[in-house]
A and B are shown apart, each in its own frame.
Chain A
Amino acid sequence: MGKYMARRFIQSVLLFLVFITVTWFLLYALPGDIVTQKFRTNPNIPPEAAETAIRRLGLDRPILEQFWTYVTGFFRGDFGVSFNQYPRPVTDIIAERLPRTIVLFLTAVVTYYWAGFIAGKYLAWRRGKRGEMAITVGGVGLLTVFYPWFALMAIWLFAARLGWLPISKFLDPTEWRNAPYTANEVFMRLFWTVAITSALLFTVQFGASKIRDVGPARATRLGGTVLIIAGFVFYWWGAGGVDIRPFAGDIAEHLVLPVGVLTAVNFAGIMLLTRSSMLETMREDFILTARAKGLPEKAVRDRHAARTALLPVTTSLVLAVATVIDGGIITEFVFSWPGMGEVLISSVTSEDIPLAVAAFSFIGVMALVGHFIVDMLYGVLDPRIRVSGSH
């Protein structure tokens, strides 16, 4: 397993090097010449000022030298200076936006994966019964719905019409006028508490699944979950943040609709996949054996069929990482959610190349890290990979 991990890690790093090289040359070295367009022929900038800016940004150097500066800078965490928000370093912008994207992304992935797997399991079990066709068509409809339009319709329904949730953006500026905290402070606090809570919850679930006896396992699971959630509630309602709470609540409220829409769209893919994976598993002989043994249907479904069917679904997660990131980009654009996707689109439309390259690279890093994690997960789930990987 260790060897397999190391090999995959080295592969990922190599892939990443290829990736940033291609990105950089694509954006800087292609015809169209950003520098000329942005500075030299721009009527709003006096020629001397343009030359100074070009020299300061290092854009008059030979291409290979610029590339080298960029690559070495990248690993030191220095991505240059944004063209449009001039003195502001790109690193600063990314550092602010990246956590916001990761929260959106992680929440959506966990929710849709879990919901899709459960729904797919039931759907496969009901094959040929009433409602199957409706659910399948509905699922495919969600999967192929024109996503920006769907998101806007959700905004219309839940925000404009019913008024339950805010329309878009990250927070409500009128409530923050005299706030003693910056948005990022509040957000990071929210981020870490939720992250720690989820990690603890996952550990408890995982630990409980290792206990063989039903009684203690259930007790551990239930007790642990209640304890952790109580801790979370205690932190936010008691000790930690009485005065910070309304602001955290405001951000959380703005998070609901984007996550909901992203989940709804991606959920269907996992559901349909689980269904076909289950259908293949249900033809296996061991399912027949399990039934012949006289096991109740629920046990056959959850213990025997679903666990085997989980494997191909996890593989699909490898492919889905890219799709979800794409979905995240559209979500951020439609909801004006200030994350990496929004940065990417706005920097591309305003030709802010350093920012665009950095945003795209970070989206690539997210994809690579996502793949790496899913691959590791897969290795843990499927012993065959562990064995063949160790040669």
Chain B
Amino acid sequence: MTDLGSRPPGTELDATDTEAVESQEIAKAESIWQIRWALFRRSFRANWKLFRRNRIGLAGLMIIGLFAVLAIAPTFLFRAGFWETSTYDPVTGLESDPPTAQLEIVQVVEDPNTQIDIRQVLVDGRISGNLGDVVDVTLQPAPPDSKHWLGTDPLGRDILSQLMFGAKAAFGLGILAATVTVLIGTVVGSVAAFYGGRIDALLMRLADLLIMVPGLAILIVISAVIRFQLWHLALVIGILSGFGGVAIVLKSQALAVKVKPFVDAARVAGGSNARLIFAHIIPNVMPLSFLYMMFTVTTAIQSEATLSFIGLLNVDMSWGLMIQLANNQGYLLQGGRYWWMVFPAGLAVTFIAMAFFLVGRAMDEVVNPRLRRR
């Protein structure tokens, strides 16, 4: 998806006023952790300054924050008693008192081919009456009102609540997948760069294979064998991208770190191979890996939504499932008429994936100085 070329190592630090103060702090610090913390704060501040210049990236961050609030909200709403489970549960909830509409039977409309009264079929087949009668019809899916801010679906469940649970699922999935990716990617990349030779060749050929095979096709095929749970999916996506593209990029970064003098110094001081990799190489490869975390989150959320849209995912409620329901029952092709069934879920997937992607791009400009405006 993004340019996975090799990058110049490290991040650039801008000279700041606070830097002098921090240098003193570092000089005064006693334990290694204090020094690390001070260094981290310093580079974080410098990078944040660069990040902040990119307004699109900031907007992405805000969207992510908004969805985070959405994901946390249902817990709070149920605990505090604003929502009761019987009505607002995203899966089993039911609006027991749906809005009704009064319809007057003004004419009988018959389909010329089947001789069936179309109007009656449309209004769920329960109406029997004569011309001129007024009947009450329950509206389900119901448009938004004060009780259900985003309306209800055909089964009388609250869309907003479903949206919030979808956000929760998406965050959980995205974060798990991204963490697995980064863990595997940094370790595989660093090990391949550090040892070189056969180990490198083996790991990189594996990465080539994984890059080449379409990820969605793999997920579909695996779901033929296993009943996919959400966390299975997160693990598989994490492993695929961790051993694949991310490992290749991080390996090229690790190669640049491996030849730095401090690695030699650590080796001379008697550090074991494991210590060299985990204490010296990986911490220096990490910043770049956060970039790929963002893109993995995008992929993971999209894959989840797609799989549950196809119906191959064993999940209670997710955005993909909401769209599947709207599509299977024909509301999606009604366009704007049932907009609360059509747009919230589709836009939610789009916006959250977009937000993570934009943040990733903005981070790319921080990590890769060549992309910055001159």
Contact = CB atoms under 8 A, between A and B. Distances in A.
Q: Which of A149, A157, A322 has the most CB of B within 10 A?
A: A149
Nearest to A149: B346
Contacts of A341: 217
Contact of B215 (A26, A133, A148, A326): A326
Nearest to B361: A140
Interface stretch (B41-49, B192-200, B219-227): B219-227
A83 to B, nearest CB: 12
A237 B45 CA distance: 68
A147 B306 contact: yes
B370 interface: yes
A283 to B, nearest CB: 7
Contacts of A269: 1
Given A140-B358, A322-B212, A348-B312, A360 B350 contact: no
B220 A348 contact: yes
A316 B361 CA distance: 16
Interface string B348-359: 011001100110
A323 B56 contact: no
Interface string A327-363: 0011001000000010011001101010010001001
B374 A283 contact: yes
Nearest to A366: B214
Interface stretch (A228-236, A246-254, A274-282): A274-282
A353 B216 CA distance: 17
Interface in B292-338: 298, 302, 305-306, 309-312, 319, 323, 327, 332-335
Contact of A141 (B214, B223, B354): B354
A156 B3 CA distance: 34
Contacts of A36: none
Contacts of A123: none
Contacts of A136: 56
Given A144-B354, A156-B332, A319-B245, A15 B212 contact: yes
A128 B373 contact: yes
Contacts of B216: 326, 329-330
A353 B298 CA distance: 31
B273 to A, nearest CB: 29
Interface string A112-143: 00000000000000011000010011001101
Given A326-B215, A367-B212, A143 B357 contact: yes
A149 B350 contact: yes
A351 B323 contact: no
Interface size class of B (residues with CB under 8 A): 35 or more
B221 A356 contact: yes
A6 interface: no
A97 interface: no
Interface in A356-391: 356, 360, 363-364, 367-368, 371
Interface string A154-167: 01110011000001
A140 B351 CA distance: 10
A212 to B, nearest CB: 33
Interface in A21-35: 23, 26-27, 30, 32, 34
A271 to B, nearest CB: 13
A54 interface: no
A273 interface: yes
A162 to B, nearest CB: 11
A80 to B, nearest CB: 16
A214 interface: no
A230 B311 CA distance: 47
Q: Which of B56, B214, B323, B335 has the most CB of A within 10 A?
A: B214
Nearest to B305: A146
Contacts of A351: 224
A321 interface: yes
A18 B350 CA distance: 36
Contacts of A273: 2-3
Contacts of B371: 276, 279-280
A155 B333 contact: yes
Interface in A292-335: 312, 315-316, 318-319, 321-323, 325-326, 329-330, 333
Contacts of B357: 140, 143-144
A161 B354 CA distance: 28
B170 to A, nearest CB: 11
Contacts of A32: 225-226
Contact of B349 (A149, A277, A329, A364): A149
A383 B235 CA distance: 40
A367 B55 CA distance: 37
Nearest to A353: B224
B56 A133 contact: yes
A277 B2 CA distance: 11
Contacts of A143: 1, 357
A148 B3 contact: no
Nearest to A357: B221
Contacts of A219: none
A179 interface: no
B302 A156 contact: no
A160 B333 contact: yes
B240 to A, nearest CB: 10
A217 interface: no
Nearest to A348: B224
B5 A312 contact: yes
Contacts of A161: 335
Given A149-B350, A367-B214, 6 more contacts: A140-B358, A319-B245, A333-B310, A344-B220, A348-B221, A367-B212
11 contacts: A34-B225, A133-B56, A141-B354, A146-B323, A146-B353, A148-B305, A156-B335, A160-B335, A316-B4, A319-B4, A322-B212
Which 4 pairs show the lowest CB-CB distances between chains A and B? A149-B346, A146-B349, A326-B216, A144-B353
